[in-house]
Amino acid sequence: MARVLARITMNHRILPCDSREIEFSDDHAAINLSDTVFEFLNEEGLSPVSVDGKNEDDGEDEEEKSGDENSVNSSFWETQYQLLQDTLCRTSSLESKIRIITKETIKEAQGTANLCGCGRTPFNTGCRNCLMKEVCRRLQNAGFDSAICKSKWRSSPDIPSGEHTFLDVRDKSSSKKGEIRVIIELNFRAEFEMARANEEYSKLIRKLPEIFVGKIERLLALLKILCSAGKKCMKEKKMHMAPWRKHRYMEAKWLRICERLTPTPPLLNGYSGHSPRPRASMSMLTVDLTENFPNLHRSVVEVV
């Protein structure tokens, strides 16, 4: 008897593991695998799976995730720029007066070729220690309680040991506000510069002043902004953050004071340099003669 071949309906097809056509006699029909697989997927509302087991939408998901991450990074840096600008713009009359004296002293020092107090380098080459002493004296002459501060701290599991020298001014003129402490850092921007920083971090650092003059509260706010930006920069660069750039290490520089030194005596005019030796108006021989012979009328001669 002749064999009858017929195709069965889609909902009765079987899904073998290959695409060969299988024949059944009489009531059974041939099954085509390729038609069966795609028809099943269409009925169930599914999309075919690639050979490596990944869905076709995975690439789109990764692109969307990358776009979201870039948006978050951009928002972070814009926020840091705004916070930095707002913090630097705020100032008080006390800070302004100290800032003016500091900048004038530095400007005059850079314009002279006189030897500084250490006697080794001229002022205009930027001897930091002598510049700090001169700024401190100028502020003292202006009536401020200024001093050179030296901070020092021991190592801990988080940060290494270190020390730092800077200037401060303490003001107690207001009984309501109590003591106000103003920090003066002559190399503020250099404290945060990094050789392998990304463009966003470098742009942020360029907004910093070279010489910082501000209250301790303002400095702490800046440290929080800058250290957070440094951490983000290292994360984006996939680099390890050095311990001396961490927030706690930076705070230790200006908070852990061990010594507060006042240069003496304060100068009233000019730079420190070398103090001229006082010259005697007369010799000891002349003094002895005038005391032992009061009736001796002779002209006093200065012996040099």
Q: What is the pLDDT of residue 277?
A: 44
Residue type, 300: V
| H/E stretch holding 200 | helix 199-206
pLDDT band for position 128 (cuts 50, 70, 90): confident
pLDDT in tens, 12-38: 555 555 544 445 445 544 555 555 545
The stretch 226-232 carries a mean pLDDT of: 95
pLDDT in tens, 54-92: 555 555 555 555 556 677 788 999 999 999 999 999 999
Say how many C-beta atoms besides its own lie within 10 A of residue 192's C-beta.
19
- 126, pLDDT greater than 80: no
Contact yes or no for 194/230 (Cβ under 8 A) = yes
Q: What is the pTM of this model?
A: 0.64
Q: What is the pLDDT of residue 273?
A: 43
Distance CA 160, CA 153 (A): 9
pLDDT in tens, 154-191: 998 888 999 999 999 999 988 888 899 999 999 999 99
The set of residues, in sequence order, having a beta carbon less than 8 Å from that of 202 and lying 6+ positions away, is: none
Comparing CA positions, the residue from 84, 90, 88 lying closest to residue 201 is: 84
**76, 79, 80, 84 alpha-carbon torsion, rounded to 10°:** 180
